[in-house]
Structure 1
Amino acid sequence: MSDSGKGRGRLVADRRYPKSRATAKAAKKPVRAKAKPKKTARKRAPARKRNPIAAFIIGIFAWSWRLIWRLTSRVALVVVLILALSVGYFYTKLPDITALLDGRARGSVTLLDRNGEVFAWRGDQFGGVVTASSVSPHLKNAVVATEDKRFYWHPGIDPIGIASAIRINLREGRGPLSGHGGSTLSQQTAKLLCLGVEYDPTQWKDEAEYVQDCRRGSLSRKLKEALYALAMEVKFTKDEILSIYLNRAYLGGGAYGAEAAAQRYFGKPASALNPAEAAMIAGLLTAPTTLSPTNNLERSQNRANVVIGLMEAQDYLTDAEASNARANPARLSEAAEAKAGGYFADWVMDSGPEFFTRKTSEDVIIGTTLDQRLQEAAEQAMISVFENKVRAGSKAQAAIVVMSSDGAVRAMVGGRKTRVTGAFNRATQARRQVGSAFKPFVFATALELGYSPYDTVVDEPLTLNVPGSGSWSPQNYTKTFKGRVTLIEALEDSLNIPAVKISESVGRDLVIRVAEDFGFGNDISDTPAMALGTSESTLLEMTGAYAGILNGGSSVTPYGLVELHLRGDDDPLMDITGGIGERVIRKEAAGQLIFMMEKVVSEGTGRRARLEGRQAAGKTGTTQAARDAWFVGFTADYVAGVWMGYDDNTPLTGVTGGGLPAEIWRETMERVHAGLPARPLPMVVPEPPRRAPAPAPQPAPQPQPQRRKQTVLQQLLNDLLGGN
């Protein structure tokens, strides 16, 4: 037994068989690896001493490079970090894609004619949401080929495009960032989205100022657009970005988005566009208003040919397809080509409820009274007369209104330029003196009070004392007098003195009341000269007043709006806003007045308005110094009014109401009535007054002496002959 405590041995058994000596020695002294034989080193040539100046310069450059590298790498790291944070910021601000497709600040208005056909558009048209996959492939390719051929390859900004743009700008003598910007489709979409800033009426004076702010081209703005584009590239796919662009881009004619443009110009969906049509729409992106095909079709077609060339060069079209597209350029739809009723559409928009027309945020459909055939007739009549009967270079203007007897306006031309939008409308906005066109209201008052068309009045020199103005002596146009004339003759020849006498006889207050009830303005001057048409009215009001005569004596409110409803909702929000009102004069009196006005056309001052094989009635009007010339009249079917004059009140030369205005009226009505059967006017022919028959002539009495002498001689002769 061994003792416990110090010197206690290990509890491991000793090795039973000790190692060999060699092994032990090896363990004690490690064996060195066999050294490889040393290669004989070549003797190095002694190092040449470097030029101390060169060494110093190289050292400076090396030190500077290391410093620049350290600074640049750190700055680059900071820039990348800031860039990442900025992109992340815009990323968090981006809404869902569905909220970005329709960016209009207001809604659209589509106007339909009396047959339900579209004839005009107003507001911001948006035909509906499309996607890059739902539109015609030709349109998608045309947009990419035209606006950003590397769209599917860059990350949102295109360094190659930017460098190319800078080179072009410098070559053309502009600043590097002036002119071509090298913007990608993603950057253009960022601009269309206004970098996510929505329109706020309290921040901007109007929508135009907001849009102008969104389109600013400053360097800081372009930097923000690039960051926003990068954020979109992170959040959306390429086709989603392209879809936003296709829905938001303005394409002229009030059309926002591809669907609205396809419907506006070609009357078809964006999915059905052929290469020529797609090229035309894509070509509008650079200058939508200037290149709009409704403004200049030829210019738009030329731009489309450039786009077709780009599509062909980028293999989107084969040579045969490109040739076919050039040989068959895009044509406007019938509705777009007609550009019908610009003045009429503007009038309906101005006269309709503001919250549904000019300030609507909804898409509105308005049914109207317009007849496109009659509109074309009025426009062609205007063009024909001015081309063939008005001296070249004349600045005279004219306006035409055609309506039914209930006040439904069927056609409207507000000036010599027939197909315009937003122009001054002389049919509705110009208040002018009406001259003798006012006289029918004087005679209507007399007939209503029981006068007969065959009653007479003396056409003779007349002087009236006008309080506050002194004596006034009216004159006839011919400066002659006709003596006693019937009311028929007085109106037929537009005699001034009989009109004044009748007006004074029946009472000016009654004449004013009748005229106003028929719809003639509301500021008629209460003076003797009123009977000669010194008051002002618009052509629309005058035509409406004459419509009241045609319909039998009831007032008329001219109207163009029939019904209004929101797109997708069949229930109208409002309907007819005009029509026949209360009776003004008896039907018999109106019929007698029509009879008298027919004489004006068939035998009087309006003979140049006569229609072949059709009865017509009307009245001429010429104001003092011939500053205004009128002809307003009607058939059994339609009422039409024509005004002619200068916008600055320059007197017309050699023009009266019975001249060029009557000819414009005739040209209009002949076209309006083409193909319609002739119908008689609803006139009442009065019976001429009965006169007592003149007594039979008696032989003159013979003097008494002669009679006695003859009697004696006769008696003597009888005695000689043996008579009794």
Structure 2
Amino acid sequence: MSHEQKTARRIPHQRRGFFSTLLLIVVTLVVVTLLGIGGYVAFLMAKLPKVDRLADYKPPVVSQVYGDDGTLVGEFYLERRIVVPVNRMPRKLIQAFVAAEDANFYSHKGIDYIGIVRAAFKNLITMRKKEGASTITQQVTKTMLLTPEKKLSRKIKEAILAKRMEERLTKDEILYLYLNQIYLGAGAYGVEAAAETYFGKSVDQLSLAEMAILAGLPKAPNAYSPIKNLARAKERQNYVLERMVAEGYITQAEAEHARKTPLTILPGRRAMNDQVAYFLEQMRIYLESRYGEDQLYKGGLKIYTTMNAAMQRAAYESVRAGLKAVDKRQGFRGALKYLKQEEVEGYCNKVEEGIDSAALKQGDTYTGVIVGINPSKGEALVRVGDRTGLLARKGMAWAGRLNLLNNYGKPDKPSKALPLGAVVEVQVVTPDVNRQGAVFELDQTPEVQGALVSIDPTTGGIKAMIGGYDFRKSQFNRAVQAKRNAGSAFKPIIYAAALEKGFTAATVIEDSEVEYPAGLGKTWKPRNYDNTYRGPVTMREALTQSINVVSVKILERIGVDYAVEFAKRLGFTSKIEPNLSLALGAASVSPLELTSAYTAFANKGVYLRPFSIVKVTDNAGTILEQRPAQVVPPPPPAVPTEAVDGQQPAVPAPPKQPALPSDGAPLVPPPSQATTPEVAYLITNLMESVVQSGTGHRAAAIKRPVAGKTGTTNEMKDAWFIGYVPQLVTGVWVGFDNQERSLGSGGSGGLAAAPIWADFMMKAVAGMPVQAFETPESVSMVRVNARSGKLARGSEGVQESFIKGTEPTAYEGE
């Protein structure tokens, strides 16, 4: 055999050896890979969470706050979720989610292999990920047992757990987890919370049209939100209905009917949250300290409160409108900013993202850009997001004469000119139609602040509380936390103390200049608001006209220490300096303190500490806290005591109430008889004159018996009005957070605070019967001379109220 032939025969043998070696290597690599994969899967399986724990599903549950009539007024939560059992969910709602999210849910064992192939094929055709293949079971494992990381390891874990879940739980149990856990937009987790958020209903009240809207949300909750974009939500609704028809869950006729069913979409929860924010924040602070964060935000507490939802809404509206009126008297401050022409589109697009309603809401304020000017008509075209509207001349009248400039750029006098590109706040007078045609009024966010507190005097329950103009911008609750000089609103406390010491409404005091030593060789000379002096005046006229000098003289005669002790009986806890300036309201107190003090006058002398929580229960209904029933002590006997400064004897002051135990128990202090029913009636009667013919006359607008008092501090830094009807006591404060800043012209209590009070009270008492203040049997009516306070003859003079035994004995001229 030749050399060439031998070489040729060796080559096939070498090739066979090479391929055998290669095959061995490949087989070894496959085996090693499979062993590696198997080991990796085994490693993952060893560290997988237990599926069994899902059987004891206890997700974070929202704690709910209820008003005095049982209506839901607020919530505390990390995730807004209200868990409902599957048997409360309509079958068609479940079918809608199954049809839209996992058509083979009832046939697969956790993983839908057919769905995976179908999705892969569609995604391949479109060259982009257009359809997913996760089953409902896989979605539950991802949200409840795993993290949302996008890794191969997570997908493997998800598949393993989905198989295990299907082995341990029934289909209905998996749906229970899914439909209570899933996020559906607008802060709502689960179908019950979503039904309430979007439609104001429970799931068992939903129509098929509404069910299809909810079932369309999981894919993209924000994009398909019916609040943000109803048109896109309807498109997704159509898809869900088509899928339900395809799966045989509904007929084509039912689908068509659902498509045509009108939808009433709620405007979102922000409006309600804004209205109750300060009230809820006070409760949150208390509840969190008492029960802890976990129980408050996750435990499903039920908190029953004294808040009246209608009154709270009225308070919110009245304070905001009133502060805007005060602020506009300060003048227009100019545009918020000035945009270049090329910046307008981007700015408006950002504004559009924040508008959560299909149409601009009448009465709401939005930020807009001036994009057109008509100088001849004195009007401007304003763009708010993707909507446009007219800002007419009369809508800018409050700002004075403004120059409308048909060019971009900041003007030389910002507060007097509005160029193109000016960013301004506008209030909707007429809503837009098809995103155009709105009518606006120029607006601006007030710099001035305010507070309102309204209390039921017979229980001490706080019915409404507003602590500022906008909680989102300032969480400082001025109703509770602000300490401001009370001004003349403190005078009724001094006058009531004087009535208790023997003064009467007819007691005459000289309104004349007076000086008091102030130490270090200096003197203090109190002055009247109008710098005039009237000579002899009765206590009634002094309070009606809020005469400063007379108030100081009354305080001097009854004693500062007595007045301070009397104020403490009315619930004041702030430090009150014992000096004569107290008569002019030098004490710094909170609106809540001052308002609650007046409740004793409206409640026959009985003071009840204000409160807002009636009862708290846990998620199972167990009572954790409940306010005890009130037991009001009997009033002291109406027996005269010694005379003061020649006046007839008065009713004695009630005894001091025992102090609370050092450990703070009981949780709620008992009612106390702060003063006598007779004194409470007389000071009320005096304050009726303040409203009828004095500084508080604007409160008479509610057209029913009202008692109240204005308050204005030096340089108009604080404006007050505290007033009441027999069923409700309300206090209003207005001022700047910077305590050195004046409210300026129109900043008195009668002009700045009383109109807010009247606007609120007209709404708050609209459904209450008109009542007069009850006159105690021990009070008599006697005709006296209005100037001298002495008895009047015949039909002369005016009727005056006296505690029996304190009436004047001398006639005019004697």
Aligned mates of 2:152, 2:520 — CA distance in 1: 70
Q: Deviations over 1:22-76 (max 9, x none)?
A: xxxxxxxxxxxxxxxxxxxxxxxxxxx99x99x9999999976874564245313
Letter in structure 1 aligned against 2:143:
L
- State the secondary structure of the residue aligned to 1:659: helix
Aligned mates of 2:520, 2:608 — CA distance in 1: 36
Letter in structure 1 aligned against 2:93:
L
CA contact (8 A) 2:227 2:265 kept: no
1:87 and 2:45 equivalent? yes
- Cα pair distance change 1:330/1:57, threshold 3 Å: farther
- Cα pair distance change 1:569/1:345, threshold 3 Å: same
Letter in structure 2 aligned against 1:501:
K
Query: 1:245 — aligned with what?
Result: 178
CA contact (8 A) 1:156 1:187 kept: no
- Cα pair distance change 1:455/1:238, threshold 3 Å: same
Query: 2:305 — aligned with what?
Result: 368
- Cα pair distance change 1:422/1:493, threshold 3 Å: closer
- The Cα of 1:597 is off from its aligned counterpart by 1.0
Return the index of the structure with the highest Cα Rg. Answer: 1
Query: 1:10 — aligned with what?
Result: none
Please give the root-mean-square deviation of Cα atoms over the aligned residues, in Å: 4.6
1:130 and 2:85 equivalent? yes
Letter in structure 1 aligned against 2:41:
L
- Cα pair distance change 1:303/1:493, threshold 3 Å: farther
- Cα pair distance change 1:458/1:90, threshold 3 Å: same
Question: How many positions carry a matched residue from both structures?
Answer: 612
Which of these residues, 143, 147, 155, is aligned with residue 192 of structure 1?
Answer: 143
Aligned mates of 1:463, 1:625 — CA distance in 2: 21
More strand by share: 2
Query: 1:30 — aligned with what?
Result: none
1:408 and 2:461 equivalent? yes
- The Cα of 1:423 is off from its aligned counterpart by 5.3
Query: 2:386 — aligned with what?
Result: none
1:689 and 2:790 equivalent? yes
TM-score when normalising by structure 1: 0.71
CA contact (8 A) 1:446 1:502 kept: yes
- The Cα of 1:606 is off from its aligned counterpart by 0.7
CA contact (8 A) 2:627 2:668 kept: no
1:592 and 2:682 equivalent? yes
- State the secondary structure of the residue aligned to 2:575: coil
- The Cα of 1:163 is off from its aligned counterpart by 6.6
CA contact (8 A) 1:87 1:231 kept: no
Letter in structure 2 aligned against 1:368:
T
Give runs of aligned pairs for residues 431-580 of structure 1, distance below 5 A.
431-467=483-519, 471-566=523-618, 569=621, 573-576=625-628
CA contact (8 A) 1:559 1:579 kept: no
- The Cα of 1:193 is off from its aligned counterpart by 2.1
Q: Deviations over 1:407-459 (max 9, x none)?
A: 122233344459x8995543334333322211111111111111122223333
Aligned mates of 1:256, 1:536 — CA distance in 2: 46
Give runs of aligned pairs for residues 19-418 of structure 1, distance below 5 A.
67-68=25-26, 70-84=28-42, 86-87=44-45, 90=48, 93-95=50-52, 97-99=54-56, 101-104=57-60, 108-123=62-77, 127-131=82-86, 135-144=89-98, 155=111, 185-195=136-146, 224-225=157-158, 227-233=160-166, 235-236=168-169, 239-251=172-184, 256-262=189-195, 266=199, 268-282=201-215, 285=218, 298-299=227-228, 301=230, 304-316=233-245, 321-331=254-264, 341-351=276-286, 354-355=289-290, 359-360=294-295, 362-382=299-319, 385=322, 391=328, 392-393=443-444, 394-406=446-458, 407-416=460-469
Aligned mates of 1:358, 1:324 — CA distance in 2: 46
Q: Deviations over 1:359-414 (max 9, x none)?
A: 53654433333333433443443455457775231333333222222212223334
Aligned mates of 1:653, 1:379 — CA distance in 2: 24
Letter in structure 2 aligned against 1:651:
S
Query: 1:32 — aligned with what?
Result: none
Of 395-404 and 655-664, the range deviating more from structure 2: 395-404
Aligned mates of 1:488, 1:246 — CA distance in 2: 67
Aligned mates of 1:627, 1:637 — CA distance in 2: 31
Aligned mates of 1:465, 1:284 — CA distance in 2: 76
CA contact (8 A) 1:145 1:310 kept: no
- The Cα of 1:311 is off from its aligned counterpart by 0.8
Query: 1:651 — aligned with what?
Result: 742
Aligned mates of 2:117, 2:198 — CA distance in 1: 35
- State the secondary structure of the residue aligned to 2:478: coil
Q: Deviations over 1:445-479 (max 9, x none)?
A: 11111112222333344443435895444333323
Aligned mates of 1:194, 1:272 — CA distance in 2: 32
- Cα pair distance change 1:321/1:471, threshold 3 Å: farther
CA contact (8 A) 2:111 2:138 kept: no
Letter in structure 2 aligned against 1:71:
L
CA contact (8 A) 1:130 1:246 kept: no
- Cα pair distance change 1:591/1:633, threshold 3 Å: same
Aligned mates of 2:218, 2:719 — CA distance in 1: 46
CA contact (8 A) 1:308 1:322 kept: no
Letter in structure 2 aligned against 1:452:
T
Aligned mates of 1:323, 1:623 — CA distance in 2: 67
Of 637-646 and 390-399, the range deviating more from structure 2: 390-399
1:642 and 2:714 equivalent? no
Which of these residues, 609, 625, 637, is aligned with residue 699 of structure 2?
Answer: 609
- Cα pair distance change 1:594/1:284, threshold 3 Å: farther
- The Cα of 1:515 is off from its aligned counterpart by 1.6
Aligned mates of 1:271, 1:144 — CA distance in 2: 17
TM-score when normalising by structure 2: 0.64
Ranges in structure 1 where 5+ consecutive residues have no aligned partner = 1-48, 196-213, 696-724
Aligned mates of 2:575, 2:18 — CA distance in 1: 95
- Cα pair distance change 1:67/1:498, threshold 3 Å: farther
- Cα pair distance change 1:180/1:373, threshold 3 Å: same
CA contact (8 A) 1:276 1:304 kept: no
Letter in structure 2 aligned against 1:553:
G
Aligned mates of 1:665, 1:500 — CA distance in 2: 27
- State the secondary structure of the residue aligned to 2:48: helix
Aligned mates of 1:589, 1:116 — CA distance in 2: 37
Aligned mates of 2:193, 2:744 — CA distance in 1: 48
Query: 1:9 — aligned with what?
Result: none
- State the secondary structure of the residue aligned to 2:790: coil
Query: 1:621 — aligned with what?
Result: 711
Letter in structure 1 aligned against 2:55:
T
Percent identity, please: 31
- The Cα of 1:661 is off from its aligned counterpart by 1.5
Aligned mates of 2:715, 2:16 — CA distance in 1: 97
